[in-house]
Amino acid sequence: MSKNDRESCTLELRGMSRHFGPVKALDGLDLTVRPGELVALLGPSGCGKTTALRIVAGLEVATSGELLLNGERYNETPANHRDMGMVFQSYSLFPNLTVSENIDYGLRARKVDSDKRQKRVIEMLELVALESKAKSYPHQLSGGQQQRVALARALAIQPRVLLLDEPLSALDAQVRGQIREEIRRIQLDLGITTLFVTHDQEEAMAISDRVGVMSHGQLEQIDKPIVLYNSPATAFVATFVGLANRIPAEITAKGKAKVLNQKVNILESAEPFPEGSKVNVIIRPESLELVSESDDEATRGIVALKSFLGPMTKVGIAVEGAPLIHLNISSRDVRKLDIGDKISFRISSDEVMAERV
């Protein structure tokens, strides 16, 4: 299997904006994807992630900003001269062409030699393990197989950049996990610079080198998945990435708050919260621990539900004055706990994040 003959390149977006009248689909996006890196753009519908991707591909035009590949400006380059491979969400395979002909398409457009083309198509089929389907038509394939062909087709032309527009969203849950690993494996093997758009945070976190969380056309934070998880920059990132409890609290002093009769330290924020103000404190389930009933500084509650998740069980605790609080506890430890039992827990992190109510 030959690697991408081209050298990995740097993809850069500077101040990218896309306005539709008063609506700002993209608002000054700055992003650099390093050579060989897989960056995911993560966010809810309408956050601008797909717009950004389509602008990179040349399918849409930015109202302002620059697109650079290895420092070269690409804004004016027509979409069919950009040498980027794109995988769409679904239905992008040409229905009247066989799998081989689909993969072959970009090569024929580039007037590649017939022999070279054949070799390359076989290479690509092997890459995605679909040799047996070479002569099949798209409608004869499953969703997962279709996306693998789409990937092969995009990579056949040896693109400088790989773009993926929610490629797994239309697939069954089972298949999704497999294909996403395959994508990452191939991407690492070829060392191709990749931009991956999704609304599924688990997906983004699982395979990316860095994840950029977007909201309302802007990048809220971009960093390695573990950093996003442990040190979210904003409340939006904290609640979008991973699970989080939002618990009402009151600021008692600078940097301190009282939440559910426990005292906590609040992370510094750009604008300090005035004393006495009401905030929501954001705490991950794993930052809460069960303690014995005799602990006076713990919060008391009643077990409202148990969701068995395999090695861990998610326990929902009903506490007065707060929404349902979720904890993750190892399934072994939680065996003796029943719904309706009294239970106590403590916040175990040093600092927690707060947001205005």
* Under rule CB under 8 A, residue 64 binds another protein: yes
Of the candidates 104, 109, 102, 60, the one whose C-alpha atom is nearest the C-alpha of residue 81 is: 109
In the chain, DSSP finds a helix count (H) and a strand count (E) of 8, 20
> Which residue in 25, 29, 55, 86 binds another protein (CB under 8 A)?
86
* Under rule CB under 8 A, residue 334 binds another protein: no
* Separation in Å, CA 31 to CA 28, 69, 154, 163, 219: 10, 12, 23, 14, 9
* Under rule CB under 8 A, residue 342 binds another protein: no
Element (H, E) at 156: helix 143-156
For residue 58, the minimal CB distance to another protein (Å) is 8
What are residue 131's phi and psi, to 5 degrees? -55, -35
Tell me the per-residue interface mask from 11 to 40 with another protein, x by CB under 8 A, - otherwise: ----x-x-x--------x------------
For residue 66, the minimal CB distance to another protein (Å) is 8
* Under rule CB under 8 A, residue 216 binds another protein: no
Tell me the per-residue interface mask from 107 to 146 with another protein, x by CB under 8 A, - otherwise: --xx--------------------------xxx-------
Contact present, 155 and 182 (Cβ < 8 Å)? no
Nearer to another protein, 107 or 347 (CB): 107
* Under rule CB under 8 A, residue 210 binds another protein: no
For residue 193, the minimal CB distance to another protein (Å) is 16
What span, in angstroms and rounded, lies between the C-alpha atoms of 323 and 301? 11
For residue 254, the minimal CB distance to another protein (Å) is 35
> Which residue in 36, 43, 48, 85 binds another protein (CB under 8 A)?
85
* Under rule CB under 8 A, residue 80 binds another protein: yes
Parallel, antiparallel, or unpaired for β 299-308 and 38-42? unpaired
* Separation in Å, CA 85 to CA 78, 94, 168, 241: 14, 15, 16, 28
* Count of alpha carbons within 13 angstroms of residue 121, beta-carbon side: 22
Cross-sheet strand order for the sheet of 161-165: 84-87, 161-165, 193-198, 38-42, 210-215, 218-223
Q: Which residues make up the interface to another protein (CB under 8 A)?
A: 15, 17, 19, 28, 57-59, 61-65, 75-76, 79-86, 88, 90-97, 105-106, 109-110, 137-139, 150, 153-154, 157
